[in-house]
């Protein structure tokens, strides 16, 4: 079988299906090649299942403290089988929805492994669609990523797990070690601790959560400590072994750590296995990422790459944005390159973290004279009503020289529902709005979002509260 298309997309995750949907909306004939499941990592072993289980943890936490609201409910218990069933139902519904969207847009979807050939050809094999050769004016590589592992940690899905295995557990470990203090590791630490596990986070770097402002990290660390989550930074692990009681983890220069499960959360590697990049002349860097320019063009004319296979933030919404930019570019519409320094970040641990743009330290390092404003949720009416007052909002602005703020450079938050509140800060940073401009906007009361408004207003030199 052979066929010709305007665009062939290899990979059906967020970057791949977004390129297909946006491309067909622009009138292009698009084919998608996917061997596993449409929706990719995000839908099946990433964003969606992780957040669903974190919501289970949130419900458990709420019920456990229901007496504070005058509700007598008794001590809750966790049925992980039921939680996993609900998670899978949501994943399956969304998976079906992606398929229907592609079908409705008349995207050709082939089940099989895609391999890049000469002259923008893609061979398809090993799937239900049978062997095929596709040719196109443009090819978009969107094959995603896989969890990184560590030497000395043999993943068995029971005692040593990656994010893939943890999201399907039906029994909670009594003691868990999380290796990695980034977004994924902190979300899993929060999830397990809420559901009753004793959790230790081990991070090789001097601090957790790179990219977030120091004040946010300090607040999150205190909140985790109150929940008895131990965070150990600057530590190096060298391996682990099974024992009669579970797993013993070797930590350089320290005593071994005894746990029941080890979760390796040290990032994800680009998944380019069998993609035929070398033969097609597509360059990769020393870690296997596909090399692209500011428009996600590879070193082979007509071939683009988006999402986790390129060295950009491994976020589903970044893959969406890259897919849209690529389609615009191949149509000759001259889109603006993505400003990766100002993409929104959302971490769904408890308390949540969300941020965009410069931290105070990075703004100073970039040569800005900085003015900052910090407001805490402890005085926010809505936060007090819902019983979640740990957290803060920090606005980093370019100083006008008198302590007041000019252009807003960054917004960093930790606290209740901040992942849903970052929109104002994201728009302010990316539209290069100034403090006086944003301070004019009215915040509804009582809401969590008032804290952002208060923080900006105080940078005018006239705080309200």
Q: Is the pLDDT of residue 1 over 80?
A: no
Q: Is the pLDDT of residue 404 over 80?
A: no
Predicted confidence at residue 402, as pLDDT, reads 77
Strand order in the sheet with 198-203: 160-161, 261-264, 175-179, 198-203, 230-233
Query: What percentage of the chain exceeds 90 in pLDDT?
Result: 96
In a domain, 419, yes or no: yes
Q: Residue 306's Cα: distance from chain center in Å?
A: 15
Predicted confidence at residue 41, as pLDDT, reads 95
282 and 241 part of one domain: no
Confidence of residue 463 (pLDDT cuts 50, 70, 90): confident
What is the C-alpha to C-alpha distance for residues 408 and 402, in angstroms, rounded to an integer? 16
In a domain, 188, yes or no: yes
Per the structure, the complete domain to which residue 416 belongs is given by: 351-458
Q: Which residue has the tokens 């589903």?
A: 316
In a domain, 367, yes or no: yes
Predicted confidence at residue 119, as pLDDT, reads 92
Asked if residues 300 and 282 have their Cβ atoms less than 8 Å apart, the reply is yes
In a domain, 346, yes or no: no
Predicted confidence at residue 152, as pLDDT, reads 95
91 and 199 part of one domain: no
Asked if residues 241 and 210 have their Cβ atoms less than 8 Å apart, the reply is no
What is the C-alpha to C-alpha distance for residues 69 and 52, in angstroms, rounded to an integer? 24
Query: What percentage of the chain exceeds 70 in pLDDT?
Result: 100
3-state percent breakdown (helix, strand, coil) of the chain, nearest 5: 35, 25, 40
- pTM of the shown model: 0.96
Q: Which of 312, 316, 320 is nearest to 294 (CA)?
A: 312
Catalytic residues: 445
Least confident interval from 91-105, 301-315, 389-403: 389-403
Q: Is the pLDDT of residue 403 over 80?
A: no
Among the three residues 340, 365, 380, which one is the final residue of a domain in this structure?
340
Predicted confidence at residue 52, as pLDDT, reads 98
Confidence of residue 59 (pLDDT cuts 50, 70, 90): very high
Among the three residues 266, 283, 307, which one is the final residue of a domain in this structure?
266
Give me the helices (H) in 128-257, please: 163-166, 183-194, 214-226
366 and 313 part of one domain: no
pLDDT tens digits, residue range 109-126?
A: 999 999 999 999 999 999
Number of domains in the chain: 3
232 and 366 part of one domain: no
The CATH number covering residue 239 comes to 3.50.50.60
Write down the mean pLDDT value for the chain.
96
The residues facing 123 across adjacent strands are: 115, 133
pLDDT tens digits, residue range 215-229?
A: 999 999 999 999 999
Predicted confidence at residue 125, as pLDDT, reads 95
């Amino acid at each position: 079988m052979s066929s010709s298309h305007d665009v062939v997309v290899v990979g059906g995750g967020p970057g791949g299906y977004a390129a297909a949907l946006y491309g067909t909306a622009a009138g292009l004939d698009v084919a998608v090649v996917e061997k596993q499941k449409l929706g990719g990592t995000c839908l099946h072993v990433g964003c969606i299942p992780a957040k669903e289980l974190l919501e289970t943890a949130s419900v458990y936490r709420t019920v456990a403290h229901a007496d504070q609201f005058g509700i007598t409910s008794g001590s809750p218990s966790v049925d992980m089988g039921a939680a996993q069933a609900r998670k899978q139902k949501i994943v399956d519904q969304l998976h079906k929805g992606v398929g229907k969207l592609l079908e409705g847009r008349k995207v050709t979807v082939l089940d099989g492994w895609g391999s890049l050939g000469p002259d923008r050809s893609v061979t398809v094999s090993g799937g239900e669609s049978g062997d095929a050769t596709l040719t196109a004016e443009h090819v978009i590589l969107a094959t995603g990523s896989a969890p990184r592992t560590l030497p000395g940690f043999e993943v068995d899905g029971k005692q040593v797990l990656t994010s893939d295995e943890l999201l399907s557990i039906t029994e909670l470990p009594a003691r868990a070690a999380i290796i990695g203090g980034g977004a994924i590791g902190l979300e899993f630490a929060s999830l397990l601790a809420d559901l009753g596990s004793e959790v230790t986070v081990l991070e090789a770097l001097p601090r957790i959560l790179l990219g977030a402002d120091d004040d946010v990290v300090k607040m999150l660390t205190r909140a985790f400590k109150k929940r008895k989550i131990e965070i150990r930074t600057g530590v190096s692990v060298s391996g682990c072994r099974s024992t009669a009681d579970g797993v013993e983890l070797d930590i350089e220069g320290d005593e071994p750590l005894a746990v029941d499960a080890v979760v390796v959360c040290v990032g994800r590697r680009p998944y380019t296995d069998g993609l035929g990049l070398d033969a097609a002349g597509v360059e990769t860097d020393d870690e296997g990422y596909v090399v692209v320019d500011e428009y996600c063009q590879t070193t082979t004319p007509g071939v683009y790459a988006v999402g986790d296979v390129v060295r950009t933030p491994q976020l589903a919404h970044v893959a969406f944005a890259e897919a849209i930019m690529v389609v615009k570019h191949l149509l000759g519409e001259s889109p603006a390159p993505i400003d990766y320094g100002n993409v929104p970040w959302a971490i769904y641990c408890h308390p949540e973290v969300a941020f965009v743009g410069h931290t105070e330290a990075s703004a100073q390092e970039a040569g800005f004279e900085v003015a900052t404003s910090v407001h805490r949720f402890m005085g926010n009416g809505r936060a007090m009503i819902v019983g979640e007052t740990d957290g803060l909002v920090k606005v980093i602005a370019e100083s006008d020289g008198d302590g007041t703020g000019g252009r807003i450079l960054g917004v960093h938050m930790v606290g209740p529902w901040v992942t849903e509140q970052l929109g104002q800060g994201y728009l302010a940073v990316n539209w290069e709005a100034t403090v006086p401009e944003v301070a004019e906007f009215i915040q509804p009361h009582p809401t969590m979002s008032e804290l952002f408004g208060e923080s900006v207003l105080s940078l005018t030199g006239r705080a309200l509260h």
